[in-house]
Structure 1
Amino acid sequence: MICALTGVFPVTQARAQQAPLPEGARIVVPGHGWGHGRGMGQWGAKGLADQGKTYTQILSTYYPGTTLGARASTEDIRVLLETSSDVIASSDQPFTARWSNNSIIATSDATYRYFKETWDGTNYHGGSIHVYRGAIEAHQGGSSINSINVLTMQQYLYGVVPRESPASWPAEELKAQAVAARTYAARRKDSSRAAGSSYDICVTTSCQSYGGYGTKSSPTSSVTVLESSSTNSALDATAGKVLMYNGSPILAEYSSSTGGYTAASSLPYQKAVPDPTDSVSPHHDWTASMTVSEIEARWPSIGRLIDLTVTQRNGYGGWGGRVLQMNIIGTKGTTTLTGYGFMNAFAWPGRSNGLQGNWFTPLYWRGVLQSAPSAVTMYAGESKTISVRITNTGTASWPVGGNVHLATNSASSFATSTWISSTRPASVARNATDPTKSSVGPGQVAEFHVPLSAANMPPGNYSQRFALIADNQSVTSLAFTVGIQVLVPWVSEAPNLLTNASFEPSTYAWR
């Protein structure tokens, strides 16, 4: 379902009070995309470049209403590298260190007082060594020291683009990435300078990932260059170009994978647009999971988990789009949070089966008997099939003939060996609410046909317990017992009786 709406998309999910989900039950969460989804999708941009689109066509797809403008390619930018109490800087070339008032602290050709220490072996400054273009400045920030790399915008971007897009990607995608990264940096710089900040931008994905020129494993080792000729060429081909709206650089956000639809914001150029070429992304579709007990441990105030309900979506794409608000409902209370709040609690890649964004739908399996099955009467040696109807009160659909079954929880005298195999026969036989459907959706009634066999059972009264399960997915809380009466089998002796017996006038019945 694709809903082209503005604002939020309310989701109505009225459910009767349910029993808590089993602690061992698994919540399965399929989803789309990786990242916030605003602006350019990098995988979708690659898909467009693969189709022969130019970088300007790619940019106009993701940033509608913008135009290309120009900035001086020689402009500088101040990059916050780290904040710490001590800073060690070195240079392979002659240098001068100055205070902020331009007075000289030290130069490489001056005379210094030093203290000599001796030790056995070789002693290098610990930690990784990063190599940067430009100059390094140290600024006091409260009780700490800010290490700031001052260099030209183009030099800075040489260290950004290969960190944000693989250097092996098509040239037009790399050009689009170059313009987006330059625009993002220019906007951050303009706002930072206006606010009087000592730096313009950071080095992490909170801003843009910046690796500098290269790294060294030790002071005496050669430099491993992080820049790439392909990304440098893309930057040189688009030197100075930025995206503009109303005369200013835009907030040119981008993320790895949109999942097939970008996310809108209040900014006029951040509109929700279809992104079909994101289908090339390995993050286009994903599936996360967690247990009920993990959710209860993360939000203990809810008590036992009863339900997960999405109450607001953004209205774009499948399921109604990205989750804006959801409720975690328990026996002791309800916790309301955003889709990102839920994602951050179980996020990938810190969690191998975690969530990658806020476009998802939580699935769990649960059912309620329409009525308790009647007691079954059968003769020893007989086979019989009973019909059981169960209302789907979970959030996952049950395919007809699929993975949702009624099963015995152990080997049973009444059930054949197939009951405890992966091909249990009592899967959903049909959708009793709408027999034309090939699955049973939430709120609909499923009909199960359960085969029983009394082939090896002596006469007597028995009971058999069944449980509703979803193979390879989850257990459910539904279990019920069927009473079974096994009768003495009839033995047909009619031919002998007719041949060897005489009968008084009466009425007789034969089976």
Structure 2
Amino acid sequence: MSFPRRRRATAWLALATAGALLALPSAAVATPDPVEPVGVATTDGAASPDGVGSPDGVGAPDAGALPDASADASTTATEVYPRPADGTWEIEGHGWGHGIGMSQWGAQGAALQGVSSSSILAFYYPGTRQANIGDPTMRIRLLGLSGRTSMTAWAPSGQTLRATAGGANLGVPTGGRLTVTRTSTGFRLEHRATRGGSVGWSTTTPTPVTLATNDGVVLGTSTTGGGTWYRGQAAVQPTSATLDVVNHVPMEDYLRSVVPRESPASWHPAALEAQSVAARTYARHETRGGGTYDLCDTTSCQVYAGRAAVTATGGVTGHEHPRTDAAIASTRGRILEGQTTPGGAWGPAFTQFSSSNGGYSVAGSRPYLVARPDPWSGTAPGDPVTSWSTTLAATDVDARCAAGGRVEALVVTARDGRGDLGGRITGLRLDCTTGSVDVSTEFARRLGMRSSWWRPVPEEHPSVFFLNDAWSAWANHEVPLGAATSSPLAGDWDGDRTDTVGVRDGNRLTLADDHTGVGTTVLDYGRADDALLVGDWDGDGVDSFGVRRGFTYFLRDALTSGVADTVVDYGRAGDEVFVGDWDGDGVDTLAVRRGNRFFIANSLASGPADRELTYGRAGDVVLVGDWDGDGIDTLAVRRGNTYLVRNELTTGVADIELDYGRASDSVVVGDWDGDSEDTLGVHRVETW
């Protein structure tokens, strides 16, 4: 099936490329003597209100909003966000963390709506079942004490510290502090009767050391400072040249510190119970059959802070809470079991969780870790992370460029297609002055923010296009794109038979493939001071760029930087130039204007004009478009905010007269809705 061609021309548009343009010898256009101007015969048009940009005049969705892609299908439309003039992107985003499994804020939202902990868990981990594991001992590597050459331990108030090695009691004196130091042959133990005092007792051992009392042990990094009180006992183990400290603690005691670190103790009991089961299950899943520890104590595993913080003088601040203790006790021993593969063996489930999935969960590595809309995330009062905003400094992103480069644009190449903004970013590229950098991991794609589900917010819309699908005074599309200093562009950048807009900043071109206000293509073409032209020079249905230098035109067929494909001389350096498909063959060519006379060429070659006509007045602003959808571009003139449009390439009375926008607006022409007829748009710059 064939589709009618539409052409448009905007002689004042311009583009840029880093490549040098080819120069050919010049040949002037031979034209006859000018003809006396003939005015356009018009009647006074009815006074129309300035409808463009009125709050109730644009019936389109909010500018810049991407469609809600709730289907489980990734998207690959490119989004380009150039470096802002002030060096800071305003960011909107959703979620905190990886989004796999349970959303903690979602669990709170569900609990506040009366959902039980069992139902919460069944929603976030579908296909799992409950089991009971009793109270096994966990081995938690304490990262703040590990990787060092020494650590210090002492007994909680009222307790006596015991140190054993190889099953033998080493006879540490009571009271004071004990320092364990790694040596080339094992460990040296030194006891100080007072905090920071001199060593009064010491011994060595070649084997790992276990430290314990009847009520846990306090561990720290110095002989004078504070420490952390841990339940259970501590094992000091050798590494190559340092030591590791591992807390051996019963599962239920371990959870008493974990659960209030992962979820606020003030939350609804059902949410705390769900967190208790998820944390217990995760810990059980991560329990190693060998090695020296099962889990660490940070967000890389589960946050574990021990029983309490202890000051140097003995002050105690608890890390446990009665409300979370109650939730742990009410679910004692309970875990979820799942299958690694459908029909496979059952075992402790991999119950990943994060602060918030932003309203849509992410598929994980197990059948029960599914991607699905979350009706509860974002419903709990005070939830600050399901939806959020922040700023991203370009200088922070610069550090990710190679060899000290400077980021020029953030380029989102793919999203997961789930939820607002098109979903989480699954493909991200940084265009830097030193080359492009692909950001390969989900964590890295966060760029230091809460999640990989984010998008730069368009600026305070200093540059806005108002596009009209019909010959009326009211805009159908409001498109924010560019800065206050940007020049407007319009064309069919992707060959979908619908024109969209773009902006030019120097020789940097930012083009949008739809009317959402998101730049999808960024390229450099020509020089900043070149006159830029837009046209379909090869008839492939995709507009590209050309530049004019004097009366020489350098035209490129591809929408990329590079050397010109066609170089042609036409007219004089002082002529006003226009682009259009004057004969309906699908290829745009040139026309020049002298006064109110137009010299039109039907091919991209030097030589005499193929057609001449007079239209309008010498001072009129001239527009080119296919106003009636017949595949042939014709002329229109603008006087203030009144437009006089003719459907034939002949002198005569205007076929359409319309008032639109403001006299100060810049005008763009295009087929904004794909119906083959060009209509008007205006570009408006606001200043504050």
Shorter-chain TM-score range: 0.5 to 0.7
Q: Distance in 1 between matches of 2:680 and 2:279?
A: 53
**What secondary structure, in the 3-state scheme, does the structure 1 residue paired with 2:454 have?**
coil
Distance 1:470 1:316, change over 3 A: farther
Correspondence 1:206 to 2:300: yes
Q: Distance in 2 between matches of 1:325 and 1:37?
A: 17
Q: Residue 87 of structure 1 is aligned with which of 151, 158, 164? A: 151
Q: Distance in 2 between matches of 1:339 and 1:230?
A: 37
Q: Residue 56 of structure 1 is aligned with which of 118, 123, 136? A: 118
Q: Residue 334 of structure 1 is aligned with which of 436, 449, 452? A: 436
Show CA shifts across 1:169-225 (max 9, x none).
Answer: 000000000000100111111xx2x2x21111111111111111111222433x222
The one-letter code sitting in structure 1 at the alignment partner of 2:167 is N
Correspondence 1:78 to 2:139: yes
Show CA shifts across 1:32-91 (max 9, x none).
Answer: 011111110000000000000000000011111101111012x11111123021121111
Q: Distance in 1 between matches of 2:408 and 2:196?
A: 64
**What secondary structure, in the 3-state scheme, does the structure 2 residue paired with 1:52 have?**
coil
Q: Distance in 2 between matches of 1:322 and 1:254?
A: 17
The one-letter code sitting in structure 2 at the alignment partner of 1:265 is G
**What secondary structure, in the 3-state scheme, does the structure 2 residue paired with 1:211 have?**
coil
Stretches of structure 1 lacking an aligned partner (at least 5 in a row) = 348-354, 372-388, 400-423, 437-443, 450-467, 472-511
Which runs of structure 2 are paired with 1:181-200 in the superposition (5 Å)? 181-189=279-287, 192=288, 194=289, 196-200=290-294
Q: Aligned residue for 2:39? A: none
Distance 1:117 1:299, change over 3 A: same
Deviation at 1:425, TM superposition (A): 11
Q: Distance in 2 between matches of 1:360 and 1:113?
A: 53
Q: Distance in 1 between matches of 2:283 and 2:517?
A: 49
The one-letter code sitting in structure 1 at the alignment partner of 2:366 is L
Distance 1:296 1:227, change over 3 A: closer
**What secondary structure, in the 3-state scheme, does the structure 2 residue paired with 1:156 have?**
helix
Q: Aligned residue for 1:494? A: none
Q: Aligned residue for 1:145? A: 243
Note if contact 1:304-1:330 (Cα within 8 Å) is conserved in structure 2: yes
Correspondence 1:97 to 2:97: no
Question: Which of structures 1 and 2 has the larger relative contact order (alpha carbons within 8 angstroms, sep 6+)?
Answer: 2
Deviation at 1:301, TM superposition (A): 5.0
Correspondence 1:319 to 2:421: yes
Distance 1:68 1:360, change over 3 A: same
Over aligned residue pairs, what C-alpha RMSD do you find?
3.7
Note if contact 1:24-1:292 (Cα within 8 Å) is conserved in structure 2: no
Q: Distance in 2 between matches of 1:425 and 1:217?
A: 72
Q: Residue 265 of structure 1 is aligned with which of 364, 367, 388? A: 364
Q: Distance in 1 between matches of 2:348 and 2:276?
A: 14
Correspondence 1:218 to 2:337: no
Q: Aligned residue for 1:482? A: none
Correspondence 1:227 to 2:320: yes
Q: Aligned residue for 2:34? A: none
Q: Aligned residue for 2:76? A: 11
Note if contact 1:165-1:177 (Cα within 8 Å) is conserved in structure 2: yes
Q: Distance in 2 between matches of 1:428 and 1:72?
A: 74
Q: Distance in 2 between matches of 1:113 and 1:298?
A: 46
Show CA shifts across 1:377-401 (max 9, x none).
Answer: xxxxxxxxxxxx96353679459xx
**What secondary structure, in the 3-state scheme, does the structure 2 residue paired with 1:276 have?**
coil
**What secondary structure, in the 3-state scheme, does the structure 1 residue paired with 2:357 have?**
coil
What TM-score do the two structures reach when normalised by structure 1?
Answer: 0.66
Note if contact 1:137-1:147 (Cα within 8 Å) is conserved in structure 2: yes
The one-letter code sitting in structure 1 at the alignment partner of 2:422 is G
Q: Distance in 2 between matches of 1:398 and 1:118?
A: 65
The one-letter code sitting in structure 2 at the alignment partner of 1:72 is G
**What secondary structure, in the 3-state scheme, does the structure 2 residue paired with 1:159 have?**
helix
Note if contact 2:195-2:224 (Cα within 8 Å) is conserved in structure 1: no
Identity of aligned residues (%): 30
Which 4+ stretches in 1 moved above 6 angstroms? 112-120, 424-432
Deviation at 1:285, TM superposition (A): 1.5
Note if contact 1:40-1:62 (Cα within 8 Å) is conserved in structure 2: yes
Correspondence 1:308 to 2:410: yes
Note if contact 1:21-1:304 (Cα within 8 Å) is conserved in structure 2: no
Correspondence 1:32 to 2:91: no
Number of corresponding residues: 381
Q: Residue 285 of structure 1 is aligned with which of 380, 387, 396? A: 387
The one-letter code sitting in structure 2 at the alignment partner of 1:90 is W
Deviation at 1:265, TM superposition (A): 1.8
**What secondary structure, in the 3-state scheme, does the structure 2 residue paired with 1:58 have?**
helix
Which runs of structure 2 are paired with 1:111-510 in the superposition (5 Å)? 125-189=223-287, 192=288, 194=289, 196-221=290-315, 223-246=316-339, 247-279=346-378, 280=380, 281-292=383-394, 294-296=396-398, 298-300=400-402, 305-338=407-440, 340=442, 342-343=444-445, 345=447, 347=448, 355-363=449-457, 365-366=481-482, 368-370=487-489, 391=502, 393=510, 397=516, 434=672, 447-448=682-683
Q: Aligned residue for 1:501? A: none
Q: Distance in 2 between matches of 1:245 and 1:182?
A: 14
Deviation at 1:304, TM superposition (A): 5.6
Note if contact 2:87-2:394 (Cα within 8 Å) is conserved in structure 1: yes
Stretches of structure 2 lacking an aligned partner (at least 5 in a row) = 1-67, 176-188, 198-221, 340-345, 459-480, 491-499, 504-509, 519-661
Deviation at 1:119, TM superposition (A): 9.2
Correspondence 1:41 to 2:125: no
